A and B are shown apart, each in its own frame.
Chain A
């Protein structure tokens, strides 16, 4: 089944403790992206990657890092999480061809205390 897989689904952590949220897609998509979703603010893009070894900042990149060493994986790294990073996070991917839809993962609900 074609899908984007995120792990973990839920995570509670403490301020300052480094964490990684993994994202993997099995559709051979070039484009991958991370979003966070907060009440009243909608989906906001954190980082995106057009292909392997190419990453760019989205609209809210502060406090996050990403890497794209392989086509299928696009992990999101929080080096020193803070409570304002408590949010629902989604990974998405898209193939080439321009006007096609994104495939989203099921989400990771992160709480930083």
Chain B
């Protein structure tokens, strides 16, 4: 069956360090993958999109990699700040179904 897996355990890091979040998937051939940020009780906010033929995408302190062989995406926040504390969701778009499917998210806590 199709699955998207994000680490359900919260990631706790010190301010200034690089946070790395993982998104693994099985039985998908996604056309592209997206990352969203979600604060408690609020709607997800779109951050970055990476296509299946792209290896890496950057936006300011954010970097996303996409390895279709490993079926994995890594999401990096460099020089992390307490304001980066939130839940981060990965989402896969399947061109077969035309749907965007979300992982359950990983909560990041950045301590000062």
Interfacial chain A residues near B42, Cβ < 8 Å: 106-107
Are A99 and B49 in contact (CB-based, < 8 A)? yes
Contact B43 A105 (CB under 8 A): yes
Question: What is the interface of chain B, defined by CB distance below 8 A to chain A?
Answer: 31-32, 34, 36, 41-47, 49, 51, 89, 93, 99-105
* Interface residue ranges, A against B (CB under 8 Å): 4, 33, 35, 40-43, 45, 48, 58-59, 88, 90, 92, 98-107, 109
Instruction: Tell which of A33, A40, A101, A107 touches B41, judged by Cβ atoms closer than 8 Å.
Output: A107
28 A-B pairs with C-beta separation under 8 A: A4-B43, A33-B100, A35-B102, A40-B104, A42-B103, A42-B105, A43-B102, A45-B99, A45-B100, A59-B99, A90-B44, A92-B43, A99-B49, A99-B93, A100-B49, A101-B36, A101-B47, A101-B49, A102-B34, A102-B44, A102-B46, A103-B46, A104-B43, A104-B45, A105-B43, A106-B43, A107-B41, A107-B43
Contact B99 A58 (CB under 8 A): yes
Question: Complex Cα distance A99/B36, Å?
Answer: 14
| Nearest CB of chain B from residue A38's CB, rounded to whole Å | 10
- Residues of A with C-beta under 8 A to B41: 88, 107, 109
Contact of B104 with A101 in the complex, beta carbons under 8 Å: no
